[in-house]
Chains A and B, each alone.
Chain A
Amino acid sequence: MTAVRRTVDAVWKLESARIIAGLTRLVRDVGLAEEFAQDALVAALEQWPSAGVPDNPGAWLMTIAKRRAIDHIRRSQLLDRKREELARDLDEQPDREPDDVLRLMFVSCHPVLPTAARVALTLRLIGGLTAAEIGRAFLTTEARITQRIAAAKQTLAEQRVPFELPAGPELAARLSSVLEVIYLVFNEGYAASAGADLIRADLCLEALRLGRQLAELAPDEPEVHGLVALMEIQASRSAARTGPSGEPVQLHEQNRARWDQLLIRRGFTAMLRARDLGRPPGPYVLQAAIAVCHAQARTAAETDWTQIAALYGALARQLPTPVVQLNRAVAVGLAAGPQAGLDLVDSLLSDPVLQNYHLLPGVRGDLLAKLDRPAEARREFERAAELAANSAERDFLRRRAAQLPAEPIGRTLGQVAGEFLRRDDLDAQTLRSYAQTLKRLRLTLGENLPLAEVTPDRIAQTFATAWGSAAARTWNRHRSAVRSFGAFADLPDLAGTLDRRTEPSTTRPTVDLAELWARDLPLRERVLWRLLADSAAGPGSVLGLNVEDLDLAERRAWTGTTWITWRSETAPLLTELVAGRERGPVFLADRRRGPGRPPMAADVCPHTGRTRLSYERAEYLFKQATGHTLSALRPR
């Protein structure tokens, strides 16, 4: 950009909101108004480099834009007299009225528009940013922003959104939409300000300017001043919130000398303006009041946590989001002691929204550490580290865990789950499914929870939070995984409090058993398939059977975790298959194993030297015979 271009750009950003707002009042269409304003900008780019920047560039731009608007009316399809009347009328209208920009804000933040469109349009019309600048700030393309803005203008025209100040009951809702857009822009910038991307961090300044402007335009609205106070005070900490290598620094560890006192003062002033209006505080005023409490404390230790906890209590009543509740618990923990905080945090454990939120176990860990329960605290920090998405935070949480003493806790959930999933008697699909269930248990309960503390109550709570609203089939799948895990880990009642849910009729493929049994089948296949059809046992368990497990007289076999039973028609066939063998696998492979990796001793028949029939081979044989997988044999 040349120097003149940069000057034109600076002037444009200072003036465009007023020009577009004034034009919108005249032509009653945001899209048209912006077009005329752009025409004026083009004229400035043509003329200013040689003629110089005029003394009053805002008025210059407005004059050009207004002339374009009048030309537009003169060229329109209206009757001559009507056209002249409109053009003269427009020419006589004042360039500016005090409420123009405020009206434009209400239009660009109108609830008929999607949030992303409101943000883009507001930055464009009020902030004077180009589509390219907005695209860079929101990590998207210029084309997409241009499209978004065009669509927004069209919606505003189609819905005939008036260029008026909302009044009465509508005002509160419309104003809160404007505040939401501004705070969203601020947070986008604030989140980015830790990184190197200055364009994104500049959004904080845009939001602050929008907020400050709004506070002058709507001085009787306490929430506007509340938002401004909140943003000023948050912005005051921006230099202190990252360490030398870009790592986040928590509020209580920040160097308060690096807080910008000027912005803090401005925040206090805005807060006083809100308070002077004497109305009950809304969410922005309450959040600002919390920020004020922090800003007033000269050291972290001087923070008035009792006041902050009370403010969060009031905020949670108006804005009962899980994150507000969690912040409240932190404040209560500092005001009334860690046990009070922990009680509140524990009441949030069953909230599905928070189940993957790393700060929940992070806060719990902190409170547990203060309660001198280091083992549990360590587990919570480890769990928080697992859930944290940001590597700086993950490292921080791991360090906190490592600072706490490790205790001899015997076998842990993570260890036993690992062993359970390394079993070789389960098919790959079952293992995958079990792994899913256990992953959730490990994330929610912690990798290092002692096995003895894996209780049915904890399982029930995890289930309610994670799968309480899932389909019955999903619930049952996880339930059976937990039952299987419980049996494996010797915790037989693990799924004791979980009811099996009724599933809607499934579309599992069926096999015509009568037809199958009527076929001329090899004895081994016939026995295997009958056993699977007779009992509810899975192929893994049945293939894992050994001759010594069989109780042929009682028609049952013990798999180590459960009984398998069969019908009387199957009994003689099984006796025939065993054929006097006393030990070793019931179902044997066709051939002896060749050289290569030696099989486990338990998988070799001592009588014949043949190995156990593999799961893959068994599936293959059934697929060849019927086109289905063995699961189709399972009785329902």
Chain B
Amino acid sequence: MRFLMTALADDAKPDEKLFTEMAKFIDEMTAAGILLATGGLEPGGVRLTSAGDEITVTDGPFAEAREAVAGFALIEVRSREEAIELGRRFRAIVGDGVSVIQQVYGPQG
């Protein structure tokens, strides 16, 4: 099964040590055949709102910046527990903050 792990934005500035540890973690997850895709997201972005026939396009940044997703990892694991365990390892590296793990339903079912 697949899970999307997202990390919410925080104020902390990443340092050199974090980059090294993250790179190592990503390498390991890739080598284990778990990590399918990962990436960081620009702050803000573009927001599209539809109401009735009307679609409104708004450029960021937005007020509720702390709810925004800053990065994601798409992982393929055997169980929800496995996804949670990997999430724990990720949080241990990045420090204080919030991540969300959601199962992905898609072509693979």
Residues in chain A within 8 A of chain B (CB atoms):
6-7, 9-11, 13-14, 53, 55, 57, 202, 205, 208-213, 216-217, 235-236, 238-240, 258-260, 262-263, 266
Do residues A9 and B81 form an inter-chain contact, with CB atoms below 8 A? Answer: yes
| Given A6-B79, A13-B78, A259-B107: A209 in contact with B32 (beta carbons within 8 A) | yes
Annotate B10-34 by CB proximity to A: 1 below 8 A, 0 otherwise: 0000000000000000000011111
Residues of A within 8 A of B109 (CB): 238-239
Query: Smallest Cβ distance from B79 to chain A, in angstroms?
Result: 6
Residues of A within 8 A of B33 (CB): 208-213
| Given A7-B84, A7-B85, A13-B82: A209 in contact with B107 (beta carbons within 8 A) | no
Do residues B36 and A262 form an inter-chain contact, with CB atoms below 8 A? Answer: yes
Do residues B30 and A266 form an inter-chain contact, with CB atoms below 8 A? Answer: no
Query: Smallest Cβ distance from A132 to chain B, in angstroms?
Result: 15
Query: Smallest Cβ distance from A189 to chain B, in angstroms?
Result: 12
Assembly CA distance A216 to B30 (angstroms)? 9
Residues of B within 8 A of A263 (CB): 108
Residues of B within 8 A of A9 (CB): 79, 81
* A239 contact from B76, B88, B108, Cβ within 8 A: B108
Query: Smallest Cβ distance from B25 to chain A, in angstroms?
Result: 12
Assembly CA distance A322 to B81 (angstroms)? 45
Do residues A238 and B108 form an inter-chain contact, with CB atoms below 8 A? Answer: yes
* B78 contact from A55, A205, A210, A258, Cβ within 8 A: A205
Assembly CA distance A377 to B84 (angstroms)? 56
Annotate B59-103 by CB proximity to A: 1 below 8 A, 0 otherwise: 000000000000000101011011011101000100000000000
Assembly CA distance A202 to B88 (angstroms)? 24
Residues of B within 8 A of A216 (CB): 30-31
Q: Please tell me if B39 contacts chain A, counting CB pairs below 8 Å.
A: no
Residues of B within 8 A of A236 (CB): 107
* A7 contact from B30, B74, B81, Cβ within 8 A: B81
Residues of A within 8 A of B52 (CB): none
Assembly CA distance A205 to B79 (angstroms)? 11
Assembly CA distance A208 to B33 (angstroms)? 7
Residues in chain B within 8 A of chain A (CB atoms):
30-34, 36-37, 74, 76, 78-79, 81-82, 84-86, 88, 92, 106-109
Do residues B32 and A213 form an inter-chain contact, with CB atoms below 8 A? Answer: yes
Assembly CA distance A217 to B33 (angstroms)? 11
Q: Supply 7 A–B pairs (Cβ within 8 Å), ascending by A.
A: A53-B85, A55-B92, A212-B32, A238-B108, A239-B109, A259-B107, A266-B36
- Of chain A, the residue at the smallest CB distance from B76 is A205
Query: Smallest Cβ distance from A288 to chain B, in angstroms?
Result: 17
| Given A14-B32, A205-B76, A211-B33: A239 in contact with B107 (beta carbons within 8 A) | yes
Do residues B81 and A53 form an inter-chain contact, with CB atoms below 8 A? Answer: no
Do residues B81 and A260 form an inter-chain contact, with CB atoms below 8 A? Answer: no
| Given A213-B33, A216-B31, A266-B36: A10 in contact with B106 (beta carbons within 8 A) | no
* A10 contact from B74, B82, B92, Cβ within 8 A: B82
Residues of B within 8 A of A13 (CB): 78, 82
Query: Smallest Cβ distance from A467 to chain B, in angstroms?
Result: 47
Assembly CA distance A202 to B108 (angstroms)? 11
Assembly CA distance A252 to B85 (angstroms)? 41
Assembly CA distance A12 to B79 (angstroms)? 12
Assembly CA distance A240 to B108 (angstroms)? 9
Assembly CA distance A10 to B87 (angstroms)? 12
- Of chain A, the residue at the smallest CB distance from B92 is A55
- Of chain A, the residue at the smallest CB distance from B32 is A213
Do residues A6 and B81 form an inter-chain contact, with CB atoms below 8 A? Answer: yes
Residues of A within 8 A of B37 (CB): 262
